Chain A
Amino acid sequence: MPQATPVPTKSSGELLTSALWNTYVRDNLNKLLDRGHRVLTVAQFLALTGLEDGDEAYVEVDAANEVQWHVRYKSSSARWRFLGGPSLAANVATAETSASTTYVDLATVGPSITAPLAGVMDAEISAQVGASATGGNELAALKVGAAATADADAGGGYATAATQRNSAGRDLRKTVARNDVLKLQYRENGGGGQTGTWRERGLRIRPVYVTQA
């Protein structure tokens, strides 16, 4: 609940002055309307000012897929802690191949999610992998913004046939800037010239906290 000023008890016959009205009615109603129960767009969330410790907001981060995040403000760190809401999720089911030993996009770029807010995000990556020959090692890694894609952010699977569906997954916690594009990129690490196949490629992100940066 938003931080409201406790309303004093008044006796019959006492008049309601403007000072009393402003403090106990106007300000409390403003807090209730502005910070507790409205669903804000990302732009409106970024436009919030005059914040107080404990203020809460519901932010619509994906209108098309009905994703809203519930957050609470912590004034000492100027961060909004994540209280609840579904993950942003993107998936590419189609199987696509690559023999590249350096990280590349597949024919369908992604899956990709654009970070609506800056902060620290928990990311889950997943894929089903196959390879054209024995000894394949198919990696799927998370690329964040302009940073180079690295094995340190990859999940991998070992496959021996193109039609296999071995799992490659990874959980990561990453600091992201607002509007950073998070996407999966892929490389074949088998060392034997195999062609990797990746299908059912998934990416989910959910915040630990966000900021208005």
Chain B
Amino acid sequence: MSTLNDLRALGYDVGLAYGDVDVEREALADALSRATPQAVAADAETVTRAAIAELRSRGVRQEALIAKAAEIAAAALEMTQAARDDEVAFHERAVAIAEQIPTVVTVSGYGLAGLQIPVGNDAATPADPEAQAAIDAIAADRPHRWRRFDWLAARAPQARRAALLEARELLLELRGKGYDPAVDVQDDGTGLEARIHNAETDERVQTVTTLAQLRAAARDLPDLTGG
């Protein structure tokens, strides 16, 4: 079975879409740090000072402020504690929910964009056999070689690009005739080797290394599909 790290090693971008439990746990930890008695007291003091300053600026007499300071402080403490408790409870619910839903990753690269695959909450184990099949398919040698072909062809020097694109169309013709060409393209796009197999029996039929050979193969190899 292939893993997400296998995809990364092949050069695919694997990113987080949603559902990561660690993100929610970090948010809960932040909320808990703001809900400690010390943090609540500090925030409540800030609110109290701001409230008293606002009242003073509006002309409330000093004697009245002194008389109400304790009441204002108590209200600020109660308000701050309630807000912090609500926030902690919210993030506790979010963690519990995240633990129950799959982490969904998005895979891009070599002609793939934004493919979403649900994985387990350890972010490594696919959520189900279909998800594993999707990862295996992306990592599989032959489809990957096709995608890498497209990716390299798009980046090849202009003089080579037309030849690579023609080669790609010829390879598609061969696939339509029942062959499975395994294609290797050198990283700079200058070299190509196609090992042409019978798609049904996997028997090697021919190996070509030039565009002229590939044209001849596409023209002359018999149609295995009966078409």
Contact = CB atoms under 8 A, between A and B. Distances in A.
B138 A108 contact: yes
A155 B118 CA distance: 26
A18 B94 contact: no
A41 interface: yes
Interface of B: 13, 15-19, 23-24, 27, 51, 55, 58-61, 64, 68, 71-72, 74-76, 78-79, 82-83, 86, 90-91, 93-95, 97-98, 101-102, 104-106, 110-118, 130-131, 133-134, 137-138, 140, 142-143, 146-147, 150, 169, 172-173, 175-178, 225-227
Given A26-B83, A194-B227, A90 B98 contact: no
A25 B24 CA distance: 28
Interface stretch (A8-16, A72-80, A121-129): A8-16
A112 B117 contact: yes
A208 interface: no
- 7 closest A-B pairs by CB: A64-B15, A18-B75, A93-B111, A132-B176, A47-B93, A162-B176, A43-B98
B97 A46 contact: yes
Nearest to B13: A64
A94 B150 contact: yes
A111 interface: yes
17 contacts: A13-B61, A15-B60, A15-B68, A21-B79, A34-B90, A62-B17, A63-B16, A92-B113, A94-B146, A107-B143, A114-B104, A114-B116, A130-B172, A132-B227, A162-B173, A192-B227, A197-B176
B143 to A, nearest CB: 4
B95 A43 contact: yes
Given A13-B60, A93-B150, A42 B115 contact: no
Interface string A170-203: 0000000011010000000000111101000000
Given A21-B75, A112-B134, A195 B176 contact: yes
Nearest to A91: B113
Nearest to A18: B75
A97 B137 contact: no
B112 A132 contact: no
A5 interface: no
Contact of A30 (B86, B91, B137, B175): B86
A133 interface: yes
A159 B142 CA distance: 25
A179 B97 contact: no
A132 B23 contact: no
Nearest to B104: A114
A107 B90 CA distance: 43
A88 B113 CA distance: 11
